[in-house]
């Protein structure tokens, strides 16, 4: 079996992360589990970590991309699985992640995700994890039951070969939260195959407290438009990205005119970075 590491980023929810680690350990006694905490205030005691059998890292500043980069760079496994701390996995979730890598062309796996309080349609044989050339459409239907090649995964249940993460430089810290897995997935899918495997199931409970996503709607919208600007600068060729930018500016204006400034500012900042992937934090 391919050697594997599981990375669990967390912020303000160390108990959830440890509970998930215990659940994983009950299915897989020898698997490496890495928890990357972004709180730096209340680390668990040594006995708890020892009893759970996890490697623990504590960051000074909250940044989901940096946390995930810390995890995979410390990982010993050839395949690195990323789980959010507030998910629940099935007994075969990790195994089905790994089974996909028997195909040497596969460099990443997107798992199926059922989210609490979100209804699943009767017809689940649909496309998911897709975007278009202009980056104006993103299909998030990770409850799908159709096995397929995708452009990006759902960040709470995904895996990659460590070698491909090294090749593309990992997650971009310019996405401190929200959209980091889409950016990574699109970059990876340009040079390798990411498969969506519906048997690789996780239930996303979306814990009410903790985490580093902005709770206020206005803050979340600002961050979404900021990150979208950066995404366009990195992943959609110029001048086509300008078309996407104008389309999204219309959407931003309908919500809050100030969002246009956030969108364009991060787009211009993104253009200043080298187009070619470089090693990230």
Number of domains within the chain: 2
pLDDT for residue 53 = 94
* Residue 222 domain flag: yes
Residue 159 sits in which domain range?
4-204
Residues 74 and 141 in one domain: yes
- Region at 219 (left for phi over 0; alpha for psi -120 to 50; beta for the rest): alpha
In this prediction, residue 279 carries a pLDDT of 44
Q: Is 136 exposed, middle or buried (0-12, 13-18, 19+ CB in 10 A)?
A: middle
Residue 20 near residue 85 (C-beta atoms within 8 A): yes
- pLDDT of res. 41: 79
185 and 94, same domain (yes or no) = yes
Ranges of the chain whose pLDDT falls below 70: 1, 207-215, 274-281
pLDDT at 281: 46
Mapping DSSP to helix (H, G, I), strand (E, B) and coil, where does residue 251 land? helix
* Residue 278 within any structural domain of the chain: no
Determine the Cα–Cα distance for residues 140 and 150; give it in Å rounded to an integer: 11
Tell me if the pTM is above 0.85. yes
Question: Is the residue at 8 inside a domain?
Answer: yes
Assigned domain for 277 exists: no
Q: What pLDDT is recorded for position 63?
A: 96
What pLDDT sits at residue 212? 56
C-beta neighbour count of 20 within 10 angstroms: 24
Q: What is the pLDDT of residue 214?
A: 57
**Same domain assignment for residues 105 and 152:** yes
């Amino acid at each position: 079996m391919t050697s594997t590491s599981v990375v669990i980023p967390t912020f303000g929810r160390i108990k959830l992360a440890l509970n998930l680690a215990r659940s994983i350990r009950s299915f897989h006694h020898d698997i490496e589990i890495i928890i990357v905490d972004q709180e730096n205030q209340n680390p668990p005691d040594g006995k708890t970590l020892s009893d759970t059998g996890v490697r623990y890292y504590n960051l000074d500043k909250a940044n989901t991309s940096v946390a995930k980069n810390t995890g995979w760079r410390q990982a010993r496994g050839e395949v690195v699985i990323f789980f959010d701390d507030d998910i629940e996995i099935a007994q075969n979730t990790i195994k089905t992640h790994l089974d996909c890598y028997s195909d040497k062309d596969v460099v990443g796996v997107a798992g199926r995700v059922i989210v609490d309080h979100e209804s699943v349609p009767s017809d689940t044989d649909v496309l998911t994890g897709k975007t278009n050339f202009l980056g104006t459409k993103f299909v998030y239907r990770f409850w799908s039951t159709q096995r397929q090649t995708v452009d990006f995964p759902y960040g709470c249940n995904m895996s990659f070969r460590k070698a491909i993460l090294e090749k593309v430089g990992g997650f971009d810290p310019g996405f401190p939260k929200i959209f980091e897995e889409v950016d990574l997935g699109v970059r990876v899918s340009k040079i390798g195959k990411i498969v969506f495997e519906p048997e690789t199931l996780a239930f996303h409970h979306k814990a009410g407290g903790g985490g580093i996503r902005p709770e206020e709607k206005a803050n979340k919208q600002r961050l979404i438009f900021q990150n979208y600007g950066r995404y366009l600068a990195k992943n959609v060729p110029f001048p086509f990205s300008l078309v996407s930018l104008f389309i999204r500016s219309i959407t931003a204006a309908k919500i809050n005119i100030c969002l246009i400034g956030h969108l364009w500012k991060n787009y211009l900042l993104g253009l200043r970075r080298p187009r070619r992937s470089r090693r990230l934090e």
